[in-house]
């Protein structure tokens, strides 16, 4: 009788015991997360970042560990920048090596749609680093400038402390970084609103107008129209409208190149018209 009662009691307790059993997967340790963020496997790095994000948001994470995690995430962004910010020449080689590229298909752009969405790994990583408001993150944020948004805002908050590293990227072999560097450096200098800063802006734009990539030259032309002293650039734009060497098949819409098409020249003419008619940015 007692044996039967004991069995019944144990059976009744089994569900409670099962609930009380500890999870078979232990919570991540700070050290393991930091090590995993250095993995050569992209999926492992992303998983580590997700774990780090949870730990950073937890009120149970010690202050010392929070700082270690922040530094680890900053270093992770620096590493991802090094992987993604390859030179234009290397990008062309990678594109040319993709199967089907050059045969009229759409296989030449890669498969980065998920990463480029707001919920993608890299946008989340850069946005997280931007929220740190930590000067140690400046090099990481500078390398992530093409992602814009929160990264640009964070660099503008750092102001002069970020200006030098930002301007240095105008020498980068990645044209997207050069374009972003021009945008951010002009924004930082405009905030000063003094003659010395306007002179420096002029030098940065004139340098970008001679960039080897047409997309950078066009971007510099578009910036001129937004400047308060844009009238001073009219002679420079008139020269570009006649001499920029980049040519494509076709014909300019405004007929300015006769039966030929020089895109940057056309952009310069459009900028001149905007200046003459007192319109705002292109």
Give the whole-angstrom CA distance, residue 20 versus residue 80: 41
Please state which of the ranges 171-185, 195-209, 248-262, 264-278 shows the lowest mean pLDDT.
248-262
pLDDT at 277: 87
Please state which of the ranges 80-84, 98-102, 121-125, 262-266 shows the lowest mean pLDDT.
98-102
Q: Which residue has the higher pLDDT, 109 or 265?
A: 265
The mean pLDDT of the chain is 86
Task: Give strand pairing partners of 248.
Answer: 261
As a dihedral over the C-alpha atoms of residue 111, residue 117, residue 119, residue 122, rounded to 10 degrees, the angle is 70
Give the whole-angstrom CA distance, residue 275 versus residue 282: 10
Using the predicted structure, report yes or no on whether residue 96 has a pLDDT greater than 90: no
Residue 228 burial by Cβ neighbours in a 10 Å radius (0-12, 13-18, 19+): exposed
Model confidence over 244-282: pLDDT tens digits?
Answer: 999 999 888 888 888 899 999 999 999 999 999 876 776
CB 268 within 8 A of CB 244: yes
Angle in degrees, CA 224, 229, 232, rounded to 5: 80
Q: Quick one: tokens of 166?
A: 């930002």
Using the predicted structure, report yes or no on whether residue 173 has a pLDDT greater than 50: yes
């Amino acid at each position: 009788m007692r044996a039967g009662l004991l069995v019944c009691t144990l059976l009744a307790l089994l569900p409670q015991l099962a609930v009380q059993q500890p999870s078979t997967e232990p919570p991540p340790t700070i050290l393991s997360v930091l090590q995993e963020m250095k993995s050569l496997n992209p999926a492992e790095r992303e998983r580590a970042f997700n774990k780090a994000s949870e730990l950073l948001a937890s009120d149970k994470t010690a202050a010392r560990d929070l700082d270690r995690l922040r530094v680890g995430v900053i270093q992770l962004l620096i590493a991802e920048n090094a992987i993604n910010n390859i030179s234009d020449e290397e990008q062309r080689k990678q594109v040319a090596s993709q199967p089907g590229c050059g045969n009229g298909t759409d296989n030449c752009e890669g498969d980065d749609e998920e990463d480029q969405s707001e919920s993608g790994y890299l946008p989340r990583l850069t946005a997280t680093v931007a929220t740190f408001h930590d000067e140690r993150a400046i090099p990481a944020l500078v390398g992530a400038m093409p992602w814009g948004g929160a990264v640009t805002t964070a660099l503008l908050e750092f102001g002069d402390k970020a200006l030098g590293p930002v301007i240095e990227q105008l020498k980068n072999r990645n044209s997207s970084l050069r374009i972003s560097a021009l945008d951010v450096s002009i924004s930082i200098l405009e905030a000063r609103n003094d003659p010395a800063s306007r002179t420096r802006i002029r030098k940065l734009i004139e340098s970008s107008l001679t960039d080897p990539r047409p997309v950078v030259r066009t971007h510099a032309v578009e910036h001129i129209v937004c400047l308060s002293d844009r009238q001073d650039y009219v002679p420079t734009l008139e020269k570009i409208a006649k001499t920029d060497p980049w040519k494509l098949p076709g014909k300019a819409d405004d007929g300015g190149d006769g039966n030929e098409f020089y895109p940057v020249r056309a952009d310069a003419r459009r900028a001149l018209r905007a200046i003459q008619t007192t319109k705002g940015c292109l």
